[in-house]
Structure 1
Amino acid sequence: MRAALLTDFWGMDAASLQSFSSLELAWDTRLAGFHHYHELWRTHGFMRMFREWSAVEGVYPRLLGFEDGERRLTNLLQLAELIHGQERHCAGLNNLVTWFSEAMTRPPVRDDPSLLRLESDEDRVQIVTVHGSKGLQYPVVFLPFSWSGGLQVAGSEHCIFHDTSQGNAATVDFGSADFEQHLAQACREELAENLRLFYVALTRARCRCYLAWGAVNDAATSALAWLLHRSLDVAQDDLITALQARFRAITDPEIRDTLERLAEKSEGAIQVIEPSIERNGPTTSDAVFKRPMAAREVSRKIDQTWRLTSFSALSTGHTTELPDYDHAQQRVLYDGERTDVFTFPRGARAGTCLHQVFEELDFANPNEERRNAVIERVLKTHGYEARWQDVVAQLVDRVIHVPLDPQGTLRLADIQRSQRVDELEFYYPFAAHNPQALKSATQASAEDTHIKTAIEQIELGATAGFMHGFIDLVFEAAGRYYLVDYKSNFLGSNYDDYRPDLLKEVMEREHYVLQYLIYTVALHRYLKHRIPDYHYEKHFGGVYYLFLRGMNPALGHRCGVYYDRPSQALIGPLERLLGSAT
């Protein structure tokens, strides 16, 4: 504590510390304060403690009292941000302090957040709008677009102006008989506003102001054209037209003469400089092409194996991955005479709709009114008639109440919002591999012949880069983590069409086995970084593919539910085979 009190944060020197130490009551009070900050950090995090400590102890004013106070305060705030950012990766106060000590001993290299920040923006070039500069001043100001004067209201089908016949009331004209007259008034008001803004821009400089002027597009109706080149004997109603006509008739030498006369009257305050144009070679207009232009031919081989890949890319050849909403369905149809889960429309749109319903619903909330409101809104969003609302509500109720395990203890209806993550998007490094090596690893490690057969049937291409995908649902139950993929595939109009043996055939045919192996590796890697002392056998619960149309609580997990838990003997080698992208 004595070492801390001697720092500039508290501002004590050796003499004051010695005197303070002899005051037992004051010392005990100070010691209690340190204990309070420690407890605040432990219970509420570093940033809560830092804010209270800096405010109570008056740290900011004390640091700013030094000659290099801004530098010191900037460093302190930057360190606080770094510690706060690292806190989420370090479990506990002691680990965070250890990280900070190691960072001081071995500072990170090429780490942008750790780079020394400027203590002030005063020396930086600042790009600001004229409106944003009001009330501010700068040593030097550049106005590169002082010639810009296009009136936005001109050519508009409506205009806003102040009607002098109505006490200057703000008025909108959408095309009355007097529209042309009102439009001219709106143009004059816009020019007046541009003049006010130009005055603001011109007076922001303390030492010097640079601006460009000349016969440029739209310059005829600019504020500077009105100040320098307007005719003084023109009627107010014809001001804009007369200004445009006069400016277009002026030559470049006449513009130069006007500026020179103004500079002469300024007694040295204004200087006119002709911009110098240096040509380092022939310009586009001077260039003479002696042969037809043609694109260069590629002579080297371009490696296209390194890419952002996905289950879709590996199994169907698609190059991008979107949330999987049963894109493989060929037809979109339903039986017009029946309205049940088997006749609910099929196809990608229907799959997207049902996925969104499950994503938005709170499974554990039995409020039917809330559930029906979500279903009604989602159906309407995806263009389905209200007559399907009861069908989807019944489907949802059946799905979340189906026991997913043989014991009948695992149901989605028992999963709280805090226990689930919907549409978990992932990226992970995916090393270059021989497709045959992936198949060989599966054949050697998989204990289930179903997995071996499914992977052997897939034609895989060589690829590397990053694996990307979306997991419909990840949930936790009794300390184990499960991944879920919803499938709205239509397999038949009876529950018998959704038996486990038939689902296995679908899983192989649609390459879903490869999909859930990829998802399992992704979730396995994710959990390793999020759970202390993570073990696959202990924490990973398995994979559920829920074929929504075929699920019924009365039939339990034996209908519409595909479950697998790939062994660690398979996932371990798969993860090592995929490795890290290089």
Structure 2
Amino acid sequence: MSKTTALQAISTPLTSVTLIEASAGTGKTFTMASLYLRLLLNIGENEFGRPLNVNEILVVTFTEAATQELKARIRQRIQQAKNQFIDYQKTKELAIFADSDNRFLVQDPETETLTARYLEQLDLDIAIQQLKFAEQNMDLAAIYTIHSFCHRTLKQYAVNSGIHFNLELVTNETTLLTQLTNAFWREYFYPQPIEVAQFIAQHLQSPAVLLNTLRPYLTGETPKLASNRPHLLTMSLQEFLQNEIGAKQRELREVSDKVKAQWQQHFAQIKALFLNEFEKESVGLNANKFKRPYFDNRVAAIEHWCTFGTDFIPPNELWCFTKSYIDGAFKKGFEAFQHDLFDWLEEQEEYFKTASESIQQDKMWLLFHCAKVLNERLNAHKESHIQKGFNDLLRLLKQALTSESGEQLADLIRHQYPFAMIDEFQDTDEQQYAIFSHIYVNKPDCGFMMIGDPKQAIYKFRGADIFTYLKAAEMAGEQRFTLNKNYRSTPELIHAVNELLDFDTAFLYDKIQFDAVKAGKNQPHFVLNGEKQAPLHFYVEQERSSDDDIAECCAENILHWLESADKNLAVFDDDGKQKPLQSDDIAVLVRTGTQAEKIQQALRKRGIASVYLSDRSDVFCTEIARELVHILSACLNATNEHAILNAVSTSIYALSAAEIQKIKQSEALLERWAERFESYFRTWKFQGVLPMLYQLLLDKGEQSAELSIPEKILALPNGERRLTDLLHLAELLQQAAPLNESEAALLRWFERQVQGGDESQQGESQVRLESEQKLVKIVTIHKSKGLEYGLVWLPFLHKNIGDNRRNNEISTYHNEQDETLWDIEEQHKEESEKEQFAEEMRLIYVALTRAKYHLSIVVPQMFTDWNGWLYVLTRGEIGMKKKIDGKRNGADLASQIQKQLNQKLGENSCQISALSASSDLRQLDLKVDSQNIAAAEFTQSIEQNWGITSFTALERMHSNKLARYRSLNEQGGLLEMTKNDDDDGRSIIETTVENQALWVEFSQGLSPLDFPRGRMQGTALHRLFEKQQFDQPIDPQIIAETCHKLQLEDEWNEALQRWITQVLHTPIDGVALAELPAQDVLKEMQFMLKIDRTFDVKAFNAALEQHHPLYQQPYQFDEIQGMVRGAIDLVYRHHGQYYLLDYKSNALADYRPEALAADIQQHHYDLQYLIYSIALHRYLQQKLPNYDYEKDFGGVRYAYLRGMNGSGKTGVFADKPCYALIQALEKLFYA
């Protein structure tokens, strides 16, 4: 293992592979910003060689939140350095750089002399300009998440990487994976015989459970494993089901049937033996092993298995009737029962024990084969679709970099980003490291810096691989540095945590060592009731305490803190300057959501508000969502008594049983409620679902004194949470409304979401924080990483790591090549458990290093199993066995630690209290500082004529038919765009002889002329062409999805596939869409055209009259100013020219060119394609060097889908606006 050196940001080499290990609280972000400044200014020792721009410094981290925070911190440091240089230029005083809160490049005052020395390297005028330039261009800074970097790189270098130009990122692949798993389940498991089907039902349970188990391994690569049975690796899944599981299950069933028969044959005799014994005055059976209730319960379980049981493995109760168990159940001096069944069951127990172990291995093998097949199918799907997930981005970029042209791609990336910093590198994996090592390791004229802390590698469940980090660390060689000063916590707390963790095997692996950190600066102390508090406080269980008992003690302690703070007796004291403790200074770190709920309930009972910051539950799964279904149903069915009663029975209205009964019995009351819901429905229909729900919330009903719904909800326990969820659901309904055709369709969509039938809207439906007030924070240890809190409670640190492991979790380990392998046959159980224990120790480290002033930790009365907290308290003495030798007394261990800390660090370094809560439940009663709050008054003016419009809105204006559209947005001046006006009823709809001749080959079945008409059908066809890759065979799944969405008969599947095939193979001026390679196609190109001044409609009409052959009459528009928005269905490149194409599904009487021109004029599609032409023209001007309209712009094509039969003679309209018209229109858009 290479040694680490304390890092000096001013002199760290910038042109090599460097590793920085940053322990918790040691100023990692400050250091990264300092290095960033050095690169911008080319300052310090071992500098890069030239100043870099912000878009040349690649900074990669792992979450969007971390990206935004890092960008903000770097921007702040750039501004700070610029201002310091300006001030220094005026005063020449170095004290400017010595401010403790605004240091330039280093955090320690003793190294400020270095800053003075390196300032001499700078020309301050140039440096200030460089920093101003960097500050102005921070929006261009290359600070990305790992997936964002991969996505950008693949799209930017699509040709070099061989990746589809229109690569589309899907951030949530749940729907795809669910579809693949369901199809796989049907194909492989439905046809299986009863024995195999029963095994699958028992051990895999359902497609959803299978997907949940295998999801971490559905990455496109078959899992690796080591086995003594290599022949199983080469088997197909069907062979494994038939030859392994089927054969074993049949044998097991035969033996199981024999056991049942033997038991039923001899049970009467067995029962008589026991009943006779129970009736004796002196019973020979040991009551701890056999007494009458035990016997009855065991017999009942066995009888149930014999009669109804489908499991081939007998219940454990049967083995209480083996010879060895019966012999051991009798007291000394008594003769045990003798029966042939007891001897026979003794033999069977061993058989079934072996069978159970074999079943567990067969289950793991089955999961392996399932993962193999699912990955193959996932890869096949990804190959034929442009949609890619996060894992695909990494895989594709790695593949591109390791291909034949990979070195050229690496050169391009390295030229673009000559320096790269990877944050949180301990959370990397093999693919991520392979990407950056191919680009930067052993390459000239570049720098590569890895920054992380192996002690905080806690995200294995997300795919992070600590062994990849350790391998990368070795490659850094001598360029391995550490940050060794903690600027977060008080010196007393730092030294206390050092003492707890400073032993050789603290993190189990030799390559991960704990280096004690120093205190970076003095911090205030936590003072309670006039006494300085110890940095550590152990709460020791008295008896076996439940989780509820622990939560009560935690809440009681927090109550005491907050009551003292209200009297100004709980403060943070900094040499006499006191800051009162507030609720948001307190954090409770938990492992699970269940533990968080227990803490919240205990706090709530005491009137203490809290917030669970790790809550990832879905708002559609809440009770308030289920109740809102009834409310919306009542609005749609205001004449239905049952619907109304369901609605008023919800907690949203909070009516009593008597009030509900009164409504039911009174026609007048029922009628008033019906009118109320009818009123809500009218608002919903004409204004929208969100205004309707706001009306409902603010409606006080019959009496003005009656509470509104928000007031009623807030009066309930957890009312703030419920009201937040209700408002959140209202917003989600409003967002979904435009995607559903009617109010009834919106309700059906909402019901599907609540039932969990549809994929959630990714992050949009995650519950929101109910309040931004200062609340006690409850957060999981995993989520707390990187954060800091004043006072930290750790109530469940001692909970066993096995308590919450999923039963079906797959055991893995790393081999000598650092590959992750499945341990199916438990040959590597020790290595696997060591990895689990090591991650637990890293989780313990994260928990112990979040606090600034104080830690309160629960210590159980007795330890019986391996536990990370016990491992710390015994300084590793317990080793790495799940079952420890003997029991360990928690109180004794806590006392030993207290004695050790007080001796080394001084008295009052550690306190111990009994874990208890007062039986007198007190409520937190804080003094209220009332303030008169008033909303600020808006005094500025708003431009009333500015808006966003589109072709659809302009065409509607011209047709003077705005009254038919009740859009609120139109009334407010912001016009929403609906692009697809196909089949809106204005086209001529009749089947002519000419049209029938178009589709001779469809004469025996459905033809495109039979395809249903309507806006929804037109939109569905647009989406189909958007999803289908043109140069690939038609995807049956896309066809099936389209037919399902439109509720078409099954016979349409084949007809639609034939039609789309014909469309793609219809020549359009010499090229069919099917002949276009993926890199020459851009779908759904969205644009925004700015109108610099009020649009001159008169000049617009004059330009059309002079240069446009399809011009008929002057356009009549209202005053337009703002933006024109649109989306071009397709832009394609052919023979070096760029064309725009729009799909139309209009049903016409004739599809020859002259008829299409008439339809273009009738619907004013020429206005549409002129706007689109301007947009594409402007885009090409920016993207193509030496762009020339006549040479590079190919023209406009309108594809009338019902008329495209493959001949190329019908169904396609073509035009190319003359350049004079384009010039004239361009002047109207751009002043």
TM-score (norm 1): 0.55
User: How far apart, in 1, do the equivalents of 2:946 and 2:1037 lie?
Assistant: 45
**Residues 124-168 of structure 1, C-alpha deviation per residue, up to 9 Å, x if partnerless?**
99xxxxxxxxx999977712898863599xx99xxxxxxxxxxxx
Report the 3-state secondary structure (helix = DSSP H, G, I; strand = E; otherwise coil) of the residue aligned with 2:1062. Answer: helix
**Residue number in structure 1 paired with 2:1078:** 417
**Residue number in structure 2 paired with 1:469:** 1126
**Residue number in structure 2 paired with 1:513:** 1166
Measured after TM superposition, the shift of residue 374 of structure 1 is 2.9
**Residue pairs, 1:39-50, within 5 angstroms:** none
Q: Choose from 1179, 1184, 1188 the match for 1:531.
A: 1184
**Residues 396-423 of structure 1, C-alpha deviation per residue, up to 9 Å, x if partnerless?**
2222222222xxx222121111110111
Contact 2:488 2:852 in 1 (8 A): no
Q: Does 1:483 align with 2:1140?
A: yes
Report the 3-state secondary structure (helix = DSSP H, G, I; strand = E; otherwise coil) of the residue aligned with 1:410. Answer: coil
Q: Choose from 395, 409, 426 the match for 2:1059.
A: 395
**Residue number in structure 1 paired with 2:166:** none
Contact 1:143 1:209 in 2 (8 A): no
Q: Does 1:363 align with 2:1030?
A: yes
User: How far apart, in 1, do the equivalents of 2:1041 and 2:1134 lie?
Assistant: 30
Contact 2:54 2:134 in 1 (8 A): no
Q: Choose from 1109, 1114, 1117 the match for 1:449.
A: 1109
Contact 1:442 1:570 in 2 (8 A): yes
User: How far apart, in 2, do the equivalents of 1:206 and 1:303 lie?
Assistant: 50
User: How far apart, in 2, do the equivalents of 1:476 and 1:148 lie?
Assistant: 63
Contact 2:1129 2:1142 in 1 (8 A): yes
**Residues 220-249 of structure 1, C-alpha deviation per residue, up to 9 Å, x if partnerless?**
xxxxxx95422xxxxxxxxxxxxxxx52xx
User: How far apart, in 1, do the equivalents of 2:852 and 2:1115 lie?
Assistant: 73
Distance 1:428 1:123, change over 3 A: farther
Measured after TM superposition, the shift of residue 104 of structure 1 is 3.2
**Residue number in structure 2 paired with 1:546:** 1199
Relative contact order: is structure 1 or structure 2 higher (C-alpha 8 Å, sep ≥ 6)? 2
User: How far apart, in 1, do the equivalents of 2:1184 and 2:1130 lie?
Assistant: 18
Measured after TM superposition, the shift of residue 552 of structure 1 is 2.4
**Residue number in structure 1 paired with 2:865:** none
User: How far apart, in 2, do the equivalents of 1:564 and 1:501 lie?
Assistant: 12
Contact 2:990 2:1148 in 1 (8 A): no
Q: Does 1:561 align with 2:1212?
A: yes
Distance 1:276 1:466, change over 3 A: same
**Residue number in structure 2 paired with 1:439:** 1101
Single out whichever of 193-202 and 312-321 deviates more from structure 2. Answer: 193-202
Measured after TM superposition, the shift of residue 499 of structure 1 is 1.7
Contact 2:1097 2:1115 in 1 (8 A): no
Contact 2:587 2:793 in 1 (8 A): no
Distance 1:363 1:464, change over 3 A: same
Measured after TM superposition, the shift of residue 518 of structure 1 is 0.7
Report the 3-state secondary structure (helix = DSSP H, G, I; strand = E; otherwise coil) of the residue aligned with 2:1142. Answer: strand
User: How far apart, in 2, do the equivalents of 1:531 and 1:327 lie?
Assistant: 37
**Residue pairs, 1:244-393, within 5 angstroms:** 246-247=920-921, 250=922, 277-281=928-932, 303-317=943-957, 319-324=975-980, 326=982, 328-329=984-985, 339-365=1006-1032, 367=1033, 370-393=1034-1057
Contact 2:1130 2:1142 in 1 (8 A): yes
Measured after TM superposition, the shift of residue 393 of structure 1 is 2.1
**Residue number in structure 2 paired with 1:229:** 918
Amino acid at match of 1:316: R
**Residue number in structure 2 paired with 1:570:** 1221
User: How far apart, in 2, do the equivalents of 1:567 and 1:102 lie?
Assistant: 50
Q: Does 1:104 align with 2:114?
A: no
User: How far apart, in 2, do the equivalents of 1:487 and 1:544 lie?
Assistant: 11
Distance 1:490 1:109, change over 3 A: same
User: How far apart, in 2, do the equivalents of 1:114 and 1:348 lie?
Assistant: 41
User: How far apart, in 1, do the equivalents of 2:488 and 2:1041 lie?
Assistant: 51
Measured after TM superposition, the shift of residue 320 of structure 1 is 1.3
Report the 3-state secondary structure (helix = DSSP H, G, I; strand = E; otherwise coil) of the residue aligned with 1:449. Answer: coil
User: How far apart, in 1, do the equivalents of 2:487 and 2:953 lie?
Assistant: 51
User: How far apart, in 2, do the equivalents of 1:378 and 1:467 lie?
Assistant: 30
Report the 3-state secondary structure (helix = DSSP H, G, I; strand = E; otherwise coil) of the residue aligned with 2:1054. Answer: helix
Report the 3-state secondary structure (helix = DSSP H, G, I; strand = E; otherwise coil) of the residue aligned with 2:1186. Answer: coil
Measured after TM superposition, the shift of residue 442 of structure 1 is 2.4
User: How far apart, in 2, do the equivalents of 1:60 and 1:520 lie?
Assistant: 53
Amino acid at match of 2:35: L
Amino acid at match of 1:311: F
User: How far apart, in 2, do the equivalents of 1:467 and 1:199 lie?
Assistant: 58
User: How far apart, in 1, do the equivalents of 2:130 and 2:944 lie?
Assistant: 42
| Percent sequence identity over aligned pairs | 28
Distance 1:341 1:389, change over 3 A: same
Contact 1:315 1:459 in 2 (8 A): no
Amino acid at match of 2:1060: V
**Residue number in structure 2 paired with 1:207:** 853
Report the 3-state secondary structure (helix = DSSP H, G, I; strand = E; otherwise coil) of the residue aligned with 1:498. Answer: coil
Measured after TM superposition, the shift of residue 526 of structure 1 is 1.0
Report the 3-state secondary structure (helix = DSSP H, G, I; strand = E; otherwise coil) of the residue aligned with 2:1090. Answer: strand
Report the 3-state secondary structure (helix = DSSP H, G, I; strand = E; otherwise coil) of the residue aligned with 2:1082. Answer: strand
Q: Any stretches of 5+ residues in structure 1 without a counterpart?
A: 1-6, 12-49, 87-99, 126-134, 157-190, 211-225, 231-245, 257-274, 285-295
User: How far apart, in 1, do the equivalents of 2:128 and 2:1199 lie?
Assistant: 48
Contact 1:60 1:73 in 2 (8 A): no
Q: CA RMSD in A?
A: 5.1
User: How far apart, in 2, do the equivalents of 1:527 and 1:440 lie?
Assistant: 26
Distance 1:107 1:506, change over 3 A: same
Measured after TM superposition, the shift of residue 109 of structure 1 is 5.9
User: How far apart, in 2, do the equivalents of 1:202 and 1:71 lie?
Assistant: 26
Contact 2:1087 2:1126 in 1 (8 A): yes
Distance 1:303 1:338, change over 3 A: farther
Report the 3-state secondary structure (helix = DSSP H, G, I; strand = E; otherwise coil) of the residue aligned with 1:532. Answer: coil
User: How far apart, in 2, do the equivalents of 1:412 and 1:459 lie?
Assistant: 37
Contact 1:54 1:60 in 2 (8 A): no
Single out whichever of 143-152 and 559-568 deviates more from structure 2. Answer: 143-152
TM-score (norm 2): 0.27
Measured after TM superposition, the shift of residue 101 of structure 1 is 11
User: How far apart, in 1, do the equivalents of 2:955 and 2:1056 lie?
Assistant: 30
Report the 3-state secondary structure (helix = DSSP H, G, I; strand = E; otherwise coil) of the residue aligned with 2:585. Answer: strand
**Residue pairs, 1:94-173, within 5 angstroms:** 104=130, 107=133, 110-113=136-139, 142-143=585-586, 149=602, 150=604
Measured after TM superposition, the shift of residue 443 of structure 1 is 2.4
Contact 2:1101 2:1115 in 1 (8 A): no
Report the 3-state secondary structure (helix = DSSP H, G, I; strand = E; otherwise coil) of the residue aligned with 2:1067. Answer: coil
User: How far apart, in 2, do the equivalents of 1:517 and 1:345 lie?
Assistant: 29
User: How far apart, in 1, do the equivalents of 2:487 and 2:601 lie?
Assistant: 28
Q: Any stretches of 5+ residues in structure 2 without a counterpart?
A: 1-8, 41-51, 60-125, 144-450, 452-482, 490-500, 502-516, 525-571, 573-583, 589-598, 606-611, 613-621, 624-777, 782-791, 798-846, 857-914, 958-969, 992-1003
**Residues 150-197 of structure 1, C-alpha deviation per residue, up to 9 Å, x if partnerless?**
599xx99xxxxxxxxxxxxxxxxxxxxxxxxxxxxxxxxxx9x99975
